[in-house]
Amino acid sequence: MVLRLVTASLAARRARIALAFTAVTLGVAVATALATLALQVGDDLARTLRAAGPNFVVLPAGARLSLDLGGADVVPPRAGLALPDTSVAGLKRAFWKNNVLEAAPELAAPATVGGARARLVGTWFDRAVATDDGPWRTGLPQLHPTWQVRGRWPREGAAEIALGRDLAARLSLGPGRAVEVSAGGSRARFRVAGVVTAGGFDDRLAWAPLAGVQALTARPGQVDRIWLSALVIPEPKQAPPDPAKDPHGYEIYMCTAYPGVVARDIAERFPGAEVLPATEVVAGEGRVVGRLNLLMLLLALAALAASTLGLFSTTTATVVERGVELGLLRALGATATQIAALLLGETLLVSLAGGLAGWLAGSLGAAAIRGQTFGAGAPLQPLLLPLALALAAGVALLGTLGPLRLALRLDPAQVLRG
């Protein structure tokens, strides 16, 4: 009987039902879109922020750096300390290999470039590294995608060099010009492939293929350090769990991509090396992602609140319009529970339909937003469908409680007398 009354009431009030359906659909759609983005935008944003440069450096054990890497202390390695250039492949054999995005070894030496003293850096520009999952192409341009190059980067194995903007201006050199470089007691002639605008101290450097610098400095197969960019999340504020007292918590901690955990795992692949994370860089990225997630949560709550208010006003207007009908039902013996079931049933059916439509619309909206912002679509998230339906049911309940109290306070005799 109640079900028949519910369906008849829905059919008789199409305009009100459409308004309620629209209110719930829009609220759930916004919440679903933001939840979908929150599940995926963290990694997307982290990858985008990784364009700022490396956030880890691998050094020979006992070496420390005095350069600024956003929190990581970086000093030139002591004499005799070096890493083999073949060790870069070990990054893709670590437990966190999928988190390692780019890497580039570096061999630095004081040099004379075109008669001016400068720092010569040997590195990779576009190197294919053999891994268990296939070739991994990486190098300095991928590690620093925001650096601008007038001309092009040097080719691997070629006698070519890239000059920092300040160094090129000091030497009055540009792409296509030849320059003599001396380092480690040897000399070689290079052709300028490009002029790099990196910002800061890097604009005074010169970069050449690693093999050429190794030959020039008589250090075959050696590098001073390895810069790498990896996806990590900020360290928790509390200390790591004690493995003896809380083994389960410690296991969860060790399976989370915290900088210290990733650094420890990578260090295990490099005997005689230490891995330093740029803690301030990681913390800054974490703050950006955290604030973005908080903003999306507030927007979702605002959308759901607006949806609830819209449903509340629509249901209240419906109760006022149906005062005579509800009074007649009470006069014929309908109990408060039956009246409540009638109103809640109507609102719940409309809200669940709106929740389903909102989930679909929100998922499609998230795909469009992610595609325009990060160049990748957002697939449908079936796990969010129960959440969308639960939110719709919650909106239905909150939006019906007030009108329901109004309906239950109606005096049948007074309503029927008019």
**Residue 362 CB contacts under 8 Å (≥ 6 apart), including other chains:** 28, 29, 30, 31, 32, 33, 34, 35, 36, 388
pLDDT reading at 300 higher than 80:
yes
Domain extents in the chain: 2-47+286-417, 55-277
Q: What pLDDT score does 140 carry?
A: 94
Q: What pLDDT score does 150 carry?
A: 94
For the segment 366-379, the average pLDDT, to the nearest whole number, is: 64
Could you tell me what percent of the chain has a pLDDT over 90?
A: 28
Least confident of 45-54, 68-77, 302-311: 68-77
Q: What pLDDT score does 235 carry?
A: 79
**Residue 373 CB contacts under 8 Å (≥ 6 apart), including other chains:** 44
In this predicted model, which residue has the larger pLDDT, 284 or 18? 18
Q: What is the pTM of this model?
A: 0.65
For the segment 91-117, the average pLDDT, to the nearest whole number, is: 91
Q: What pLDDT score does 236 carry?
A: 79
List, for residues 151-199, the tens digit of each pLDDT value: 999 999 899 999 999 999 999 999 999 999 999 889 999 999 999 999 8
Torsion of CA 224, 229, 233, 236, to 10 degrees: 10
**Residue 193, φ and ψ in degrees, nearest 5:** -90, -35
In this prediction, residue 283 has a pLDDT band, given cuts at 50, 70 and 90, of: low
For the segment 294-300, the average pLDDT, to the nearest whole number, is: 86
Write the secondary structure of the chain as one string of H (helix), E (strand) and C (coil).
Answer: CHHHHHHHHHHHCHHHHHHHHHHHHHHHHHHHHHHHHHHHHHHHHHHHHHHHCCCEEEEECCCCECEEECCEEECCCCCCCCEEHHHHHHHHHCCCHHHEEEEEEEEEEEEEECCEEEEEEEECCCEEECCCCCCEEECHHHHCCCCEEEECCCCCCCCEEEEEHHHHHHHCCCCCCEEEEEECCEEEEEEEEEEEECCHHHHHEEEEEHHHHHHHCCCCCEECEEEEEECCCCCCCCCCCCCCCCHHHHHHHHCCCCHHHHHHHHHHCCCCEEEEECHHHHHHHHHHHHHHHHHHHHHHHHHHHHHHHHHHHHHHHHHHHCHHHHHHHHHCCCCHHHHHHHHHHHHHHHHHHHHHHHHHHHHHHHHHHHHHHHCCCCCCCCCHHHHHHHHHHHHHHHHHHHHHHHHHCCCHHHHHHC
Q: What pLDDT score does 10 carry?
A: 57
pLDDT reading at 212 higher than 90:
yes
